[in-house]
Structure 1
């Protein structure tokens, strides 16, 4: 059987995988070793040193490539380490066009690390392709997209951006963390690189930090593998095992995440004390039609703003929550609440945050897989207290 032809639910469990060759273990063993015996200098069984490659990490990387319909997967110590590897493809004077309402950690590494090495960044609202076109020039080497964006849940048309990137021979990368390959396949829509903070939905249990890249092109893969090995920001075998285990239930978790996300978003939209709700599943959401076209469902990430709210109102609501945990991160089986202005996006200057709509009163939810009635009851108590 050609496992490349499997449907997603089967790929999540079997894609790129085979029983272990040594003893037939169904799950890839955790090869907790730094080095490997050689019969003669250079004579080995495919592995020499675990920074360069480790069998457990290889199993994860093969799985990542499979579920993203890619050819080559790379696993890193964190999502930011994966972004860092992509940025190391840039040279001084190169220009990068990035989503304006971007994850704070991505903004930080772009502006605080790579800008001082001469890489130029432009942050634009990518819902309108004209905004991107206006920044393209002969120095543009990378377009970096989040969709849905963090935390505004804006939708970027991957196919149209891909067409623009290809026309100008620009590398095109998509952060697919919020959607996951269950909902969206950027490589199939024309992206060159897919990036994940696998800490989130791919791991799914809030027990591991890990990042990933997936590509189709061998030359690009070779460059990124070189950077992965030379820079050394790899993940360990235990972390690889945990994310591989998480991927095997991604499809069933995402189904419940989406069901609960829909219910919570509708509750918030109907509540008289809530002013704005950001979730791409609403028909009046900007680019909802694009979301319908490129996504299988609309996910479980939701942002909202209390009516007439300010910073203190948002803080009071998140502090009253009992079932939603006030914490950084997202994508675990448990529901989390965050305050972007003081947490995930605190590294972005207030003026820059508010330009893209990230106001001090905004609350971001990662809706888990608990019973939706319990989640709604928790929100109601916190909002109406």
Structure 2
């Protein structure tokens, strides 16, 4: 298969053909956007994108959930080396680290038992925390209840040992039989190298003062730790890059699980106040990323008894993947897709197994807009929660709770920050049983946004309304420019009169934001590469949106690289789809000039007019 901008067919990714090379000259082009703690990076050529996606080498910098920042890589490597394991994966908290590992292992297959071994009286909080995993739990109190013989453990059993201290020699269980032994401790171990029966060890990571700032999974099983790495990208319980310089991996002392670094501060309370006022909400919770917020909602609502979720519209790729790929008891959970205007199909899709309906106010990347009033009328009638990702619209343009939504979710890394240097997420709601459940889950897993990220976000909110108004103005202007340009074939933006969602957007939204997708009239590989690889004036080629400065990317290649043509057709766009996230620049003329320069490089295929 020949991919856009590739003059010869790209071979399949094979490590023997393409050994990972961190010294490729292409990597010199891969620079961070947003400074020291930037959340994205420049991808200035198609060759760089193809090489990365085909496995020739890892990127040094990239979108913050998908590519570990060099500082994060160094810290994880130091933890792994110090603790005598091949892998270390950092998370936003120790409880979140354990939860993500247990969710992965416990639901690999149906009927897997989680045998919890504990010494003292197990607190109600621990019972609640483990119940979140939705696995069969057997509790055994050491020195009170006799342990079965090692031969009695099933090879599918997970043995979770709750331990205090760092010394693996003091563990009351020195063999796991055929089961898999996981240790959850309040301290890092000196080394697990001589303890082959311990497959995983989870613990807090502290700062220099001994306060918890995150959590780590230390692991020996390559496959599982690789899958955990991929799940962290998708599910979003990330460790903030801002905390890497504060971490003290040499601290082997016990760390309190209740840490000032992971609890709500003045900045958190002020952010929640601002957002609840903007969004007509009663309360809010902050998370380490937008995907973490979505993940926690899904984990709360989807159960074995009610596994089905319905998604409306073509959603952001990570949301789409998470909704389609969630697993409980070894079975992929049910999902169904309906178009934004197909209310009849939506009502037909809702049944007694439906856990929730999920949509985006403005979908990414095609800009479709759901009629939230009509959708919420249906979901209320069937008593099904409606969850709305309002990231592209923001509360400046739409307040979904006022339109009948039950939960509203944001990535705060986008328009609210605008700096490309903050990572975080949020859920807003009105009071009720669902709100109480989410608060409990948030507390049990320590899913709070870290203080450094909260302070970063708080400093950006002062001028948010003015910036968002400019985003709206600039987005419409660029969309109109693209519509009139002879090199452009199609433009997807709800602010344009010919967009399928234009009428709904005019009723529902104050403005239509600034994320625009389009295709070239001449999108054959040579033309596509000429347009993309050349200069774009002040426009940076980097994959995110909501930036104060304009960014663009080849959306399908970045988000759906390995999708087949048929899969892309189902999603509603071609492999050559481009996306521009227009910034809030006060003078847009340079951006328009950059677009004009880039589009002038498009040319017809030889032999065509």
Q: TM-score w.r.t. structure 2 length? A: 0.54
Q: 1:347-362, aligned counterparts within 5 Å?
A: 350-362=565-577
Equivalent position of 2:343 in the other structure: 129
Q: 1:1-385, aligned counterparts within 5 Å?
A: 34=211, 49-89=260-300, 90-92=302-304, 93-114=306-327, 118-310=332-524, 313-320=527-534, 321-346=536-561, 350-370=565-585, 371-385=587-601
Instruction: Tell me how large the CA RMSD over aligned residues is.
Output: 2.1
Does the Cα contact within 8 Å between 2:543 and 2:553 map onto a contact in 1? yes
1:158-215 C-alpha deviation (Å, 9 max, x unpaired): 1100001001000001100000000111001000000001110111111111011000
Q: How far apart, in 2, do the equivalents of 1:379 and 1:154 lie?
A: 24
Q: How far 1:49 sits from its partner (Å)?
A: 4.5
Q: How far apart, in 2, do the equivalents of 1:311 and 1:354 lie?
A: 19
Q: How far apart, in 2, do the equivalents of 1:114 and 1:157 lie?
A: 30
Does the Cα contact within 8 Å between 2:522 and 2:528 map onto a contact in 1? no
Kindly tell me: are residues 245 and 98 of structure 1, through their superposed partners in 2, closer, same or farther at Cα, counting changes over 3 Å? same
Equivalent position of 1:4 in the other structure: none
Equivalent position of 1:41 in the other structure: none
Kindly tell me: are residues 147 and 347 of structure 1, through their superposed partners in 2, closer, same or farther at Cα, counting changes over 3 Å? farther
Mark the structure with the bigger radius of gyration.
Answer: 2
Aligned to 1:269, what secondary structure does the other structure show? helix
Q: How far 1:270 sits from its partner (Å)?
A: 0.4
More moved, 191-200 vs 212-221: 212-221
Q: How far apart, in 2, do the equivalents of 1:109 and 1:211 lie?
A: 16
Does the Cα contact within 8 Å between 2:325 and 2:332 map onto a contact in 1? no
Structure 2 residues not aligned, in runs of 5+: 1-208, 213-257, 602-609
Structure 1 residues not aligned, in runs of 5+: 1-31, 36-46
Q: How far apart, in 2, do the equivalents of 1:76 and 1:33 lie?
A: 23
Aligned to 1:85, what secondary structure does the other structure show? helix
Q: How far apart, in 2, do the equivalents of 1:33 and 1:266 lie?
A: 55
Aligned to 1:343, what secondary structure does the other structure show? helix
Aligned to 1:203, what secondary structure does the other structure show? coil
Q: How far apart, in 2, do the equivalents of 1:121 and 1:218 lie?
A: 26
Q: How far apart, in 2, do the equivalents of 1:231 and 1:347 lie?
A: 34
Q: How far apart, in 1, do the equivalents of 2:504 and 2:464 lie?
A: 24
Does the Cα contact within 8 Å between 2:276 and 2:282 map onto a contact in 1? yes
1:341-384 C-alpha deviation (Å, 9 max, x unpaired): 12134476653332132211110110012221111110010010
Kindly tell me: are residues 311 and 49 of structure 1, through their superposed partners in 2, closer, same or farther at Cα, counting changes over 3 Å? farther
Q: How far apart, in 1, do the equivalents of 2:454 and 2:421 lie?
A: 12
1:310-353 C-alpha deviation (Å, 9 max, x unpaired): 46544432322231111111101010001121213447665333
Equivalent position of 2:76 in the other structure: none
Q: How far apart, in 1, do the equivalents of 2:264 and 2:580 lie?
A: 36
1:231-260 C-alpha deviation (Å, 9 max, x unpaired): 333211111122222222111101111111
Q: How far apart, in 2, do the equivalents of 1:259 and 1:251 lie?
A: 13
Kindly tell me: are residues 228 and 335 of structure 1, through their superposed partners in 2, closer, same or farther at Cα, counting changes over 3 Å? same
Which structure is higher in RCO with an 8 Å CA cutoff and minimum separation 6? 1
Does the Cα contact within 8 Å between 1:57 and 1:236 map onto a contact in 2? no
Q: How far 1:299 sits from its partner (Å)?
A: 1.2
Q: How far apart, in 1, do the equivalents of 2:360 and 2:210 lie?
A: 36
Kindly tell me: are residues 118 and 163 of structure 1, through their superposed partners in 2, closer, same or farther at Cα, counting changes over 3 Å? same
Q: How far 1:99 sits from its partner (Å)?
A: 2.7
